[in-house]
Amino acid sequence: MLVCILVWTINVRGLGMKVALTVWKNWISPVFDAANMFLVAEIQDGEIIDRYYESFDPERPSLLVNRLIDAGVSVFICGAISEIPAFAIENSSIKLIPFVSGRYDDVLYHYIRGRHVTSQFFMPGCRCNSGKQRDGKRFSCTTRRYNKK
């Protein structure tokens, strides 16, 4: 727990980090596979010190991954995402947080303040905690069970 807090403090509060989010109007783009714009936010000491938007081709996730790595992005937040691009991102050094919805400013605000991307920001039907943990293990996104009639 202490290690987690320390890592978060170094990344988010201290030395600075870059987070990228797929965006559509004021929202997190609902589907990565059809998105065309992402926002890169540079965070230092709990504040956004720089932000810029870039367009991308979702059909070429490996190019996106290379660009994100080149830009120094370490966390990628997006909406629904299919297996192949998710695999491409998860297989890199970037942490993927998929199936997120809501206004991207709200998501960023909460993320900066070290709160988890809580259930309020996850898409309905999804208890997602996907991506790589810091110890290298992978979470998977699971469908919430419901009783079929």
Nearer to other proteins by Cβ, of 14 and 125: the residue is 125
Cβ proximity to other proteins: between 13 and 90 the closer is 90
Tell me how far, at minimum, the Cβ of 90 lies from other proteins, in Å: 10
Beta bridge partners of 122: 100
CA distance 8 to 146: 35
Q: Which residues here bind other proteins, judged by CB under 8 A? A: 24, 27, 29-36, 57, 59-63, 65-66, 70, 79-88, 91-92, 98-99, 101, 123-126, 128, 141-144, 146, 148-149
SS3 35: coil
Let me know: does 26 contact 103? Beta carbons within 8 Å. Answer: yes
Cα atoms in the Cβ-side hemisphere of radius 13 Å centred on 124? 1
CB of 78 to other proteins, least distance (A): 11
